[in-house]
């Protein structure tokens, strides 16, 4: 079964599992588990035991932004900067100690009138690095443009604006609002009914998946990813983000979504075109050099780790390898041994451990077992200490299993081409 068929079937299974999670998510009770608390929550305005809140300008009740209550028609249950002379205003959450976080949820207020309080033109999330305020990296906002339903129709669901970013550790978080002053004499100010801060491991996994997907190239060369792999992982990321950005999602759902996303990442990584299609391994006449023929095209960017190559015949002590090198011109790998092979050379096999090959994109090869070794003597059918066309004619006219060099079950021109490439270098041995 081809890697593309396996990949497609696995993707379908992953996406089906995600569909189940979304169904459970949509029908859950939507109560946050204690293991992932709202780090900003301070229902009693007690700065001695909970987060402390302060802002550049305040109309309304500052503490109501973190009290856990959602009321869109009570003046005392929201923070706004209405009437502020500033283009930008900010609200700070002081955790009182170094705290990890990677997600902020803003439940914006919209009174529906020009010159009142409406969604800001934009907002940014910053953290205090001990000296200055710094923007969090890789902010992903949902929706991209701040939005909220008018207060008479408002609910937590239709006023929620979520931003995910790389996990940071800081004592303070700041939300900077840019007021919408685009219409003269109809300035619109910013306001929130509630602000929540979380440290979701799912958000970190989403960020890691994005990095992997963005760095990958699709194609048919070794080290590239099967066509459609990036779109499939992007779809899985999108579903996971929908779960992570939901309103008060249960911990069980978050954990399930993260598990499925990790599975999608594994599926994506398994779709890489591997440098593991080795036709066969050939020894030279002296038995101290083994040549591996590779089906994929080698690239000079590959890094070979000789420590992850093994040659043995089932004994506990493998042959010692001196060096491993590649030749892009004839698509071969040469393994030089410190001493010639002895005994029944045909009983030896080549094994590649995981990460024997790497590209500038990271790990490339998985573990490859039992690449059969073809001794020089099995090709030198005339026993004249050289390999020529006459040996090839004898080989192809007989019943030798060596006719199927690439082990695909069909002796054909590909096998002959491999033998011809191997014969020419050996003739000089």
Confidence (pLDDT) at 423: 64
Confidence (pLDDT) at 24: 44
Banded pLDDT at 30 (limits 50, 70, 90): very low
Residue with the bigger pLDDT between 398 and 7: it is 398
Paired strand residues for 79: 60, 192
Share of the chain above pLDDT 90, in %: 27
Confidence (pLDDT) at 418: 73
Confidence check: pLDDT of 429 > 60: no
Residue with the bigger pLDDT between 124 and 225: it is 124
Select, from the ranges 49-53, 153-157, 239-243, the one with the highest average predicted confidence (pLDDT): 153-157
CA 134 – CA 296 distance, rounded (Å): 46
Confidence (pLDDT) at 258: 87
Once rounded to an integer, what is the mean pLDDT over residues 177-187? 80
Looking at 155-159, 179-183, 403-407, which range is the least confident one? 403-407
Confidence check: pLDDT of 92 > 50: yes
Confidence check: pLDDT of 25 > 50: no
Once rounded to an integer, what is the mean pLDDT over residues 206-235? 86
Once rounded to an integer, what is the mean pLDDT over residues 399-412? 68
> Residue 412's CB: how many other CB atoms inside 10 A?
12
Q: Are 207 and 237 in contact (CB under 8 A)?
A: no
Confidence check: pLDDT of 3 > 80: no
Confidence (pLDDT) at 81: 93
Confidence (pLDDT) at 122: 96
Confidence (pLDDT) at 76: 77
* pLDDT tens string 267-319: 888 787 765 566 578 888 888 999 887 766 566 667 788 888 888 887 666 78
CA 404 – CA 420 distance, rounded (Å): 13
CA 45 – CA 177 distance, rounded (Å): 23
Nearest residue to 363 via CA among 351, 371, 355: 355
Nearest residue to 87 via CA among 123, 50, 53, 113: 123
CA 214 – CA 210 distance, rounded (Å): 6
CA 59 – CA 97 distance, rounded (Å): 28
CA 366 – CA 422 distance, rounded (Å): 25
The whole-chain average pLDDT of the chain stands at: 80
Confidence check: pLDDT of 342 > 60: yes
Confidence (pLDDT) at 5: 44
* pLDDT tens string 316-338: 667 888 898 888 777 788 999 99
Q: Are 144 and 88 in contact (CB under 8 A)?
A: no
Residue with the bigger pLDDT between 254 and 230: it is 230
Tokens standing for residue 390:
């006459």
Confidence (pLDDT) at 27: 37
pTM of the model: 0.56
Confidence check: pLDDT of 41 > 70: yes
Confidence check: pLDDT of 89 > 90: yes
CA 58 – CA 91 distance, rounded (Å): 9
Select, from the ranges 31-45, 152-166, 171-185, 388-402, the one with the highest average predicted confidence (pLDDT): 152-166
User: 317-320 long-range CB contacts below 8 Å, 24 or more apart?
Assistant: 319/348
H/E element, 346: none
What is the secondary structure of 296-310 as a DSSP string? Answer: SPP-TT-EE-GGGEE
Banded pLDDT at 28 (limits 50, 70, 90): very low
SS3 readout for 357-403: EEECCEECCCCEEEEEEECHHHHCCCCCCCCCHHHHHHHHHCCCHHH
């Amino acid at each position: 079964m081809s890697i593309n068929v396996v990949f497609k079937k696995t993707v379908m299974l992953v996406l089906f599992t995600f569909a189940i999670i979304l169904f459970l998510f949509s029908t859950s009770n939507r109560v946050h588990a204690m293991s992932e608390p709202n780090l900003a929550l301070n229902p009693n305005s007690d700065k001695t035991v909970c987060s402390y809140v302060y802002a550049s300008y305040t109309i309304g009740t500052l503490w109501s932004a973190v009290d856990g209550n959602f009321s869109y028609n009570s003046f005392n249950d929201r923070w706004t900067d209405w009437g502020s002379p500033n283009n930008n205003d900010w609200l700070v959450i002081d955790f009182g100690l170094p705290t990890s976080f990677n997600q902020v949820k803003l439940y914006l207020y919209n009174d529906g009138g020009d010159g009142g309080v409406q969604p800001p033109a934009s907002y940014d999330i910053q953290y205090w690095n001990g000296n200055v305020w710094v923007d969090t990296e890789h902010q992903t906002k949902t929706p991209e443009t701040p939005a909220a339903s008018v207060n008479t129709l408002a609910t937590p669901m239709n006023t929620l604006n979520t931003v995910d970013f790389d996990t940071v550790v800081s004592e303070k978080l700041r939300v900077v609002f840019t007021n919408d002053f685009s219409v003269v004499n109809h300035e619109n100010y910013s306001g929130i009914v509630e602000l929540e801060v979380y440290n979701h491991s799912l958000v970190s996994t989403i960020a890691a998946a994005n990095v992997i997907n963005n760095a990958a190239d699709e194609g048919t060369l070794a080290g590239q990813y099967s066509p459609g792999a990036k779109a499939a992982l992007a779809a899985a990321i999108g579903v996971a983000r929908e779960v992570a950005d939901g309103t008060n999602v249960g911990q069980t759902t978050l954990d399930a979504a993260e598990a499925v996303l990790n599975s999608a990442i594994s599926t994506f990584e398994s779709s890489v075109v591997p440098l593991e299609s080795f036709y066969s391994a050939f020894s030279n006449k002296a038995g101290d050099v083994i040549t591996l023929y590779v089906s994929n095209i080698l690239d000079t960017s590959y890094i070979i780790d000789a420590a992850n190559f093994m040659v043995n015949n089932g004994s506990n002590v493998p042959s010692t390898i001196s060096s491993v090198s590649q030749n892009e011109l004839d698509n071969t790998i040469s393994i030089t041994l410190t001493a010639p092979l002895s005994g029944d050379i045909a009983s030896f096999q080549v094994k590649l451990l995981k990460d024997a090959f790497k590209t500038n994109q990271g790990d490339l090869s998985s573990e490859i077992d039992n690449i059969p070794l073809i001794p020089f003597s099995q090709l030198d059918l005339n026993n004249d200490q050289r390999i020529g066309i006459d040996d090839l004619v004898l080989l192809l006219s007989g019943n030798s299993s060596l006719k199927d060099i690439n082990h695909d079950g069909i002796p054909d021109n590909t096998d002959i081409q491999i033998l011809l490439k191997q014969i020419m270098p050996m003739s000089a041995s």
